[in-house]
Structure 1
Amino acid sequence: MLMLSVEAAHTRSLYASVSDLNFLIAHYLSQGPLREAAEPLRRQLEERAGAMLPLRYDWQGKQHSRAYDELAQEHPHIAPDELLRIMQALISRDSLALSTAGGTVLGRSHRRPRHATPDTLITS
């Protein structure tokens, strides 16, 4: 019985992580140079309601799906570049491990601008 509850908690935690990541990706794309890619992604996330974006729970504990725009409006403190900031924090925290792989997550070296922004990080 305890094992089932641990598994259920892990599944819920994994769902929350994936749905949060989906929101962060769509949010990042919506404000950067790849805005046109954001719209089809947002449509797909909303079409698969309840599986792709974070859920809302009512006072009775019932789950309700939410649209991207609703989530963005409810969480104005989450900047469009939040995903980039999270990655930069992880990279700087784990810089020693990453330095052996070229200094970036992808294992390739490049010079970062002094103040990195989504527009300046995209290279051809």
Structure 2
Amino acid sequence: MEQGLKIAGGLLVVLAMVHAGFPRYFRWTTQFASVSLINRQMMYIHTLFIALVLLLMGLLCLTSAPELTGTAFGRKIALGCGVFWLVRLVVQFVGYSPSLWRGKPFETAAHLGLTMLWMYLSAVFLMAACG
């Protein structure tokens, strides 16, 4: 289980870094030009904090996998992370319209890849929580 958490940690660190490219990839400069300043800044700041949480969660897994599986407190943290990723998995299907990815090769691959990632993270953290 510790190896699974370390793999999850590495994936989370990479996912955190990917967030740095969101503004450019999604063309936020032009997309948000007509949005109010507060809404535009909230998108940038929330993305920064999501990336920070992903980075810290990843570093926790990389540096403290034995504690996450071997202590009661660690298992509680793992349970919280597992619930977080399980909810994210559900949101993948109920929060995003299939029209965003269906019939588009890259977007479909991203949807499937992220679905598998959310499933993996949910399973690893929930199994770690169970001891």
Higher relative contact order (CA closer than 8 Å, sequence separation 6+): 2
Q: TM-score range by the shorter chain?
A: 0.3 to 0.5
**Which of the pair is proportionally richer in helix?**
2
TM-score by length of 1: 0.36
